[in-house]
Structure 1
Amino acid sequence: MIRKTRATSAAGAIASAAALAGCAGVLGAGDEPEDGGPVTLTITTFGTMGFEELYEEYERGHPGITIEATNYDQGGEARAALFEAFESGAAPPDIVALEEGWLGQVMAVDERFVDLRDYHIDSASWRWVPWKYEQGTAPSGRVIGAGTDIGPMGLCYRRDLFAQAGLPTDREDVARYFQAEGGGWDRYFDVGREYRAATGNAWYDQPLYVWNAMVNQLGQGYYDIDGRLIVGENAELAAQWDRLARAQADGLSAGEAAWDWDGGKAFTDESFATFMCPGWMLGVVKDQLRNAGGGPETGWDFADVFPGGAANWGGSFLGVPAASEHPDQAAELVLWLTKAEQQEKAFEVAGTFPSTEEMVTVYLKSRKGDPVFGGAPTAAILAGRTEGVRSQYKGPLDSQIQDDAFGEALTALDRGELTADAAWDQALAAVEELASGEGGE
């Protein structure tokens, strides 16, 4: 499903000598439409990015600019549409949101995007946390993505269900409990076994999100730092699979369908007690609770801890396809949308945690509590959890390996259709098939 909105603006144009002179533009400056007339900028996003009110604000400050936005429900749909346009020769949008998970696929065709260094993004690289700016930089050195949000991870948990199992319920005590005995994923799964023994209920909703977090924490995931596909030889990856497979065998999964959760009911009943929560996922939890008629009384909380240490899941970038009819105006909008003050506004609306150093510093000092998560200072927790995140190299097939190869194998494992060994073998075979087809859409 595509949700398409078109914002309106006043007619007219404002002069910009730099743009008319062919200058690549200056961060924060305004551009005049190239022909002196109105310009419509098309932008494609996905999920909930919190840009709608920002579009209107930008139009008010830039007479003559109209923003026409198309939003896809999921990043995979946006990726497919973008590459379909590339392959068919159709005109792409002026601006496209790029997801971290398939950024490697975009980097393989970085020449199809405007180099934002031509618009002096390099002079403002200090805006972003270093690893975010690095992620938007292609191996060629061209900067093709300006960072929007990031996905530092904490642990969502149900206080009421923890109490039933005799586990700590205060978020600071929960953090200490998970860090005991060396912490890490082994400790997380062992506490899950303790919980299941006490209640008979599942620990997490399904294994796909757990696996995603486990992979993202590794120094090397599906690719090594040289861009070589290493799934079958990555011993750390295999060790994480074994940990998750044992957890599955011990009944820690609730067997929920990814992105479904029975219309949100799984968040309000006793289906599972913990949930993998990058910053943007807090908004998903709230949406699911609303869908099921739940709220703060349900008992969800957010702890400043995560199995295995610091992790990042997701986060997006904005890029300008080289075929854009209005690259100057598009780049101007990209650089405006990714400034600290705009990222702060998007976070307040959509829960997409800012990737700028300024906002991380600001939120570290925040004590604002989120009532849906028991008054937890979610912004401060997320800000602190940006420390220690590693920028893992994402290869061209990374997203497809995660979603298609391991996603399907884990779903089969979760349903009891395959053993752990058979599921692993299926995933490896799927990776080989993807590699032989060069990841074509």
Structure 2
Amino acid sequence: MGSFMSKRRSLAITAGAATIALALTACGGDSGGSGGDTADGTSGEPITLKVTVFGAGGAEGDADGNNNLFRQYEAENEGITIEETNLGDGGKGLEAAQAAIGAGGVGLADVMMVEEGWLGTMTPLAADTFVDLRDFGADELEGRWIDWKAAQGTTPDGQVWAYGTDVGPQGLCFNQTQVEAAGIAKDRDELAEKLGGADATWDEFWEVGAEYTAATGEPWIGVPAFAFNAFVNQQDEGFYTRDNELNVEGNDALKGFLADIVEQQAAGVAGQINSWEWTNEDFHGSFGVHVCPGWMLGSISEAVKDGGSDVWDFADVFPGGATNWGGSFFAVPKVSEHQEEAAKLAAWLTADEQQITSFKNAGAFPSQVKAQSDPAVTGFTNELFNDAPVGQILASRAEGVVAQFKGEKDSVIQDKVFGDVIKQLNAGAITSADQAWQAALDSLTAQGIE
């Protein structure tokens, strides 16, 4: 895919078109790594830095293309040109990265976005593939990130191979117009209370959903795969154990929740929209709620601002409690011919000020300690979501969140195994819980995941 230059907008969700998956983001903070008077510290010659990203995460600007961080960096660093390429969704990004690494690094950018779900694949390759950012000032940035985020970008032997951008604490986006008309709740606080507040459970979520569907004739949740992803991330151990053992076969929790989706879909409470395949119109009466880590707000902004009559909002509640879905990093491949300048850019993008800008652009909640508590974040409201205090809500939803261990094939299992099973459910090709679970196990075997 070619480079997306200066005025590339955040990815729009256009009617009739599938959208991007896993819009995770590049963010930033204090002044770490700002470049210099000349582009290249050794030659003084202008240079071009190639950057790969995916999704609509904030570095490329807001829903209208404003506040592009790459253009800002160019303006502040004479002689630097940035060519950013958006690889689409996280799955496509991983496939492209693996192909390039398999070819000896040919095709890797100078600065490469890495998604949380890739960690199990990339961390073991870090020593051979990515520079040790300690060679370019990483030690001076110690304390910038929350502990578990910093640990994710560090190998067991101490190599700092990636700088963290965002994290994905989850709240609940909801169609306030439809939820109120259905008699469920008149506002975000009442909805949170209706679902159980801090003690909200998935059982209560489905029960309220049944009320909504009975009143409206429409599904409560439109994208069932997102509910499944959220549930998986809430478990103490997900698709892998902490010892990096596959944790699917015999996993009664995952099997049970997949059965819940089958049951709720049969009852009309869960819809049949595939991940990232909604249209703008779907957000105006087709379903009531949407699973929303912070970065999802950026992904659906086009849909809720398209002029429809329904108002969307964001609630400080999530069934099953606190959980993290997603988050990204920037790494510098060893094949880069401009490692020093690439490392400076990665540090700048993940510093507090830039992290806050990305949050405002796309809702991606910062992983930086200072940025998380900055008034620009905690006091931020989003007019596209009924002026919801999204900064305050995401800070609340982040309390108690610790990222789950991600194994080598984690993102493949999410997208290609269970994602495909739920697509078959949506299409009516699978109609029972037993069929669904067996299809997942068969898919693991077919893909050689053991």
Shorter-chain TM-score above 0.5: yes
Shift of 1:93: 0.8
- Residues 260 and 43 of structure 1: is their aligned pair in 2 closer, same or farther, counting only changes over 3 Å? same
Q: Secondary structure at the match of 1:409?
A: helix
Name 1:314's counterpart in structure 2.
326
Name 1:165's counterpart in structure 2.
182
For 1:422, the aligned partner's letter is: Q
Identity among equivalent positions (%) equals: 41
Task: Measure, in 2, the Cα distance between the counterparts of 1:264 and 1:258.
Answer: 14
- Residues 260 and 193 of structure 1: is their aligned pair in 2 closer, same or farther, counting only changes over 3 Å? same
Q: Secondary structure at the match of 2:398?
A: coil
- Residues 254 and 235 of structure 1: is their aligned pair in 2 closer, same or farther, counting only changes over 3 Å? closer
Task: Measure, in 2, the Cα distance between the counterparts of 1:378 and 1:338.
Answer: 20
Contact 2:198 2:317 in 1 (8 A): no
CA offsets per residue over residues 275-325 of structure 1, 9 Å max, x none? 0011111122221234x533xx41211100011111121211100111111
- Residues 58 and 365 of structure 1: is their aligned pair in 2 closer, same or farther, counting only changes over 3 Å? closer
Contact 1:364 1:380 in 2 (8 A): no
What TM-score does the superposition give when structure 2 sets the normalisation length? 0.86
Q: Secondary structure at the match of 2:4?
A: strand
Task: Measure, in 1, the Cα distance between the counterparts of 2:124 and 2:76.
Answer: 36
Name 1:104's counterpart in structure 2.
120
Task: Measure, in 2, the Cα distance between the counterparts of 1:379 and 1:422.
Answer: 41
Correspondences of 1:264-283 after superposition (within 5 Å): 264-268=280-284, 270-283=285-298
Contact 1:174 1:303 in 2 (8 A): yes
For 1:94, the aligned partner's letter is: D
Q: Identify unmatched segments of 5+ residues in structure 1.
A: 8-25
Shift of 1:435: 3.5
For 1:429, the aligned partner's letter is: D
Does 29-38 or 400-409 show the bigger shift? 29-38
Name 1:432's counterpart in structure 2.
445
Correspondences of 1:16-31 after superposition (within 5 Å): 27-28=32-33, 30=35
> Alignment length, in residue pairs?
414
Shift of 1:64: 2.5
CA offsets per residue over residues 391-433 of structure 1, 9 Å max, x none? 2011110001000000111111222211221111111121233
Matched, 1:42 2:50: yes
Task: Measure, in 1, the Cα distance between the counterparts of 2:446 and 2:352.
Answer: 42
Contact 2:168 2:294 in 1 (8 A): yes
> Which of 148, 151, 159 is the matching residue for 1:131?
148
For 1:265, the aligned partner's letter is: E
Which structure shows the bigger proportion of residues in helix conformation? 1
Matched, 1:381 2:396: no
> Which of 74, 92, 98 is the matching residue for 1:59?
74
Q: Provide the alpha-carbon RMSD of the alignment.
A: 2.2
Correspondences of 1:390-429 after superposition (within 5 Å): 390-418=402-430, 419-429=432-442
Contact 2:53 2:113 in 1 (8 A): yes
Q: Identify unmatched segments of 5+ residues in structure 2.
A: 8-30, 61-67
Q: Secondary structure at the match of 1:157?
A: strand
Shift of 1:267: 0.4
Name 1:362's counterpart in structure 2.
374
Does 332-341 or 236-245 show the bigger shift? 236-245
Contact 2:240 2:246 in 1 (8 A): yes
> Which of 94, 101, 115 is the matching residue for 1:79?
94
Name 1:4's counterpart in structure 2.
4
Contact 1:91 1:324 in 2 (8 A): no
- Residues 199 and 146 of structure 1: is their aligned pair in 2 closer, same or farther, counting only changes over 3 Å? same
What TM-score does the superposition give when structure 1 sets the normalisation length? 0.88
Contact 1:180 1:187 in 2 (8 A): no
